């Protein structure tokens, strides 16, 4: 009887150990995603379309909704006035922290980090976050 209890307890402990080992979260944090981009990022041509398609949708970051307003007409001013980026320092920019998972909630909501989006925005900030 004691041997059976020890065997059951050992099996249970082994199961718990494997379960705990399998409970690790895959990191959503992306580091320097745009360092490989060498072409100049244009706010109007490269960044605004990202905001229009992924952020400035109804109920999210559009005019009159959640800040910052990332609609095409207001995105640059809203990002600048709200200090959402640090020109030439994307790693410490709130915008990048949301996009890479360093700050919650991870953007875009429901999709999580997107390497293409993150790389372009990272490169744009690294290049001085110009309104070009």
Query: For residue 42, is it left (φ>0), alpha (ψ between -120 and 50) or beta?
Result: beta
Q: What is the pLDDT of residues 61-104, one digit of tens each?
A: 999 999 999 999 999 999 999 999 999 899 999 999 999 888 88
At 12 the pLDDT is 63
At 7 the pLDDT is 60
Looking at the chain, the whole-number percentage of residues with pLDDT higher than 70 is 77
Question: Which residues, 6+ apart, have CB-to-CB distance to 28 below 8 Å?
Answer: 100, 101, 106, 112, 113
Helix (H, G, I), strand (E, B) or coil at 21: helix
- pLDDT (mean) for 115-130: 92
Q: How far apart are CA 40 and CA 120, in angstroms?
A: 10
Q: Whole-prediction pTM value?
A: 0.73
Q: How far apart are CA 79 and CA 82, in angstroms?
A: 5
- pLDDT (mean) for 120-130: 94
Contact criterion met (CB below 8 Å) for 76 and 128: no
- Taking the mean position of all CA atoms in its chain, how far away is CA 106? 5
Q: What is the pLDDT of residues 15-68, one digit of tens each?
A: 555 555 544 444 444 456 656 788 999 999 999 999 999 999 878 999 999 999
Q: What share of the chain is helix, strand, coil (3-state, %, to 5)?
A: 45, 0, 55
């Amino acid at each position: 009887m004691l041997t059976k209890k020890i065997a059951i307890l050992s099996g249970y402990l082994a199961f718990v150990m494997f379960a705990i080992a399998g409970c690790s979260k895959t990191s959503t944090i992306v580091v320097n995603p745009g360092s490989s981009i060498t072409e100049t990022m244009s706010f109007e041509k490269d960044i605004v379309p990202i905001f229009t398609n992924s952020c400035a949708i109804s109920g999210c970051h559009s005019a009159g909704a959640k800040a910052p307003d990332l609609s095409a007409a207001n995105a640059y001013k809203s990002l600048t006035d709200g200090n959402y980026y640090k020109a030439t320092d994307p790693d410490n920019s709130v915008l990048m922290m949301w996009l890479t998972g360093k700050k919650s909630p991870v953007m875009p909501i429901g999709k999580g980090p997107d390497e293409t989006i993150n790389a372009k925005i990272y490169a744009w900030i690294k290049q001085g976050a110009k309104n070009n």
